[in-house]
């Protein structure tokens, strides 16, 4: 019974749960996330991305929106990390897709691990960058045709 109680305490956050943000911060977080995701979605439509490709992009940037607007003081949420993390990851993902079989699980794993390595080395870790690298591998032919664009 003690293990279950310990697990439930941990699940509830124990002493490590952050305090609830003030209502004004929650409101501005929601507005920022809405505007950011709407803008990314519209950019996808300008590039004529359809179906799952648009969802992949919005998913990757959705995670970024949570970091940037939900926990803006996190080191992973800083503008440098946001921009460099996505750019480094995109370049790595596209390079892997061009150099290797872009439908291979090995290529997907290589792209994400190389992106993480370069984000570490450049001190620009942004966790959603892993999804950005992966999109270049698992995206449709339309994504592959975009290449470095």
Query: Residue 6: its pLDDT value, please?
Result: 78
In the 8-state DSSP scheme, what is residue 50?
Answer: -
Q: DSSP readout, 30-46?
A: HHHHHHHHHHHHHHHHH
In angstroms, rounded to a whole number, what is the distance separating the alpha carbons of residues 22 and 5? 30
Per-residue pLDDT, averaged over 51-80, amounts to 83
pTM: 0.77
Query: Residue 56: its pLDDT value, please?
Result: 63
Per-residue pLDDT, averaged over 14-37, amounts to 86
Q: Estimate to the nearest angstrom the gap between the alpha carbon of 44 and the chain centroid.
A: 16
Torsion of CA 44, 49, 53, 59, to 10 degrees: 20
For 64, the 3-state DSSP assignment is helix
Residue 28 contacts residue 70 (beta carbons within 8 Å)? no
Query: Residue 12: its pLDDT value, please?
Result: 72
Write the CB contacts of 5 (distance below 8 Å, at least 6 apart in sequence).
none
Helix, strand, coil % in the chain, rounded to nearest 5: 75, 0, 25
Q: What are phi and psi of 72, to 5 degrees?
A: -65, -20
Domain edges within the chain: 24-146
């Amino acid at each position: 019974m003690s293990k279950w109680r310990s697990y439930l305490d941990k699940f509830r956050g124990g002493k490590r749960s952050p305090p609830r943000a003030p209502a004004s911060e929650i409101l501005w977080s929601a507005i920022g996330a809405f505007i950011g995701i709407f803008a990314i979605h519209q950019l996808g439509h300008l590039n004529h991305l359809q179906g799952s490709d648009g969802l992949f992009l919005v998913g990757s940037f959705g995670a970024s929106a949570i970091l940037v607007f939900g926990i803006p003081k996190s080191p992973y949420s800083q503008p440098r990390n946001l921009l460099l993390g996505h750019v480094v990851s995109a370049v790595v993902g596209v390079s892997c897709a061009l150099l290797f079989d872009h439908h291979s699980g090995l290529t997907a794993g290589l792209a994400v691990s190389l992106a993480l390595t370069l984000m570490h080395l450049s001190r620009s870790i942004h966790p959603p960058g892993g999804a950005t690298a992966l999109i270049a591998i698992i995206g449709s032919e339309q994504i592959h045709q975009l290449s470095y664009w």
